[in-house]
A and B are shown apart, each in its own frame.
Chain A
Amino acid sequence: MTLNKIEEDIQELVVRYRPIIAFRVRKALGAQNVDCEDLVSEILSQVLEKIQSGEFRGESSLGTFVYTITSRRIVDYIREKSKVMKYAPEPHPHPDPQETLEAQEMSERVKKALGFLKPKYRDVLYLYYYQELSREEVANRLGISPRKVSELVNYALKLIRKELKI
């Protein structure tokens, strides 16, 4: 990929990587962290800057390049934060700024799909995702094999996904 080509595709790059960076940042800092949004924008402009200054030479994939910048910035943030944490004001609960309409709509569909599931699937999802029991623990609890647990979870996910694709 030549530098020119990348410049032409900056818009596309932002569209592609913003959600991925945001996901990674929220996972690391907690979705309710008020700094997430700022950090994502900062990382994104770092990426663009580095690409424009020719720092990205295509030794790794672009994805890995963006991943590395993101990870470094997150580590720095946590380091800064843990220094000042003690004296920092109590963070206020904050609605997730990244909670897009799309995600809300998806969540509504998931809710609907959960309601349609047969009890055997609901039991498994409850223990596996809500109570976060391991596959083996769920198997014990329900008196089925671990393999059967995976089958039930996978099938339930498939049914939910069907609802999401409509």
Chain B
Amino acid sequence: MRKCKFEDFIDGYLLNRLSERDKEAFEEHYFNCSSCFEKLQERDVIIRTIKNHPELLITEKTEARVPLLATLKKEVRAFFTPRQLVLAGLTALLVLVVIFVIVPRNQAPAPNFFLTDEETVRGSSITLISPVIDMNQIPSSFEWKKLGENIEYQVSIFNHQLLWKATTKENRITLPEEVKAKMVPGEKYSWQVKAFSPDGTLIAVSSRVQFKIAAQ
């Protein structure tokens, strides 16, 4: 099948990156072109599946950047193999550093996420449910997947900086009117959820998901 020139609009449309004009042109087009509509539906399912299951895309390379326990295990193993004394000594030192410096800061059992410089998280362990795509109006509530009982969630909403932060034990939070009043159609926002155990330990972080509120 020959490629239709509108196919290149599909990602832009689904990720809300098209100009108003291109968006309308593409919308009219997919009412007329069954090939594009079929591809659009297919891509929509693919993107939504990715949005709902980012964990399926976390690779070893992603994990290899932080996983403390894995590093620890490897170091311990290296420690017991007969090697040069210096190497063993260094390894022991590393183990000590890991045990006394890094582990106490991360008491949660093997978190499978990590924070980069900009505090974005890969290997997120909280799945955000809504909003994760563009919104036609200012969202009234934010929802994510529940992790377990007795967990406190901290929700943050950002525009360029932090707009609002609140905590809840539910897996859903309603925006107060005064925060909604600060949100503007046409603008991009992002949000993130962090989960804390009853003793206040950070146990999971979602990725920071962006959504746009359609201009009126």
Contacts and interface: CB of A to CB of B under 8 A. Distances in A.
B169 to A, nearest CB: 17
Given A66-B31, A123-B61, A111 B172 contact: no
Contacts of A66: 31
A106 B50 CA distance: 12
Interface in A113-131: 114-115, 117, 119, 122-123, 125-126, 129-131
A93 B207 contact: no
B158 interface: no
Interface string B114-144: 0000001010000001110111110011010
Contacts of A19: 37, 41
B174 A130 contact: no
B150 interface: no
A119 B174 CA distance: 37
Contact of B32 (A29, A61, A119, A161): A61
Contacts of B41: 19, 23
A126 B31 contact: no
Given A106-B42, A110-B45, A30 B136 contact: yes
A154 B160 CA distance: 31
B186 to A, nearest CB: 14
A77 to B, nearest CB: 9
A64 B30 CA distance: 9
B48 interface: yes
A148 to B, nearest CB: 16
B45 A106 contact: yes
A125 B57 contact: yes
A160 B137 CA distance: 32
Nearest to A65: B31
Interface in B44-69: 44-54, 56-62
B51 A130 contact: yes
Contacts of B209: 132
A108 B68 CA distance: 32
B40 interface: yes
B145 interface: no
Contact of B46 (A33, A91, A157): A157
Interface in A94-113: 103, 106-107, 110-111
A46 interface: no
Contacts of A20: 30-31, 37
Contacts, number: 118
Contact of B172 (A85, A93, A107): A93
A143 interface: no
Interface centre among B31, B58, B62, B207 (most CB of A within 10 A): B31
Chain B interface residue count: which class?
Answer: 35 or more
Interface string A60-88: 01011011001100000010011001000
A8 interface: no
Interface string A138-166: 00000000000000000001001100100
B22 to A, nearest CB: 14
A28 interface: yes
A67 B27 contact: yes
A90 B140 CA distance: 7
A72 B182 CA distance: 29
B43 interface: yes
Contacts of B47: 129
B122 A126 contact: yes
Interface of B: 15, 24, 27-28, 30-34, 37, 40-54, 56-62, 120, 122, 129-131, 133-137, 140-141, 143, 172, 174, 207-210, 214, 216
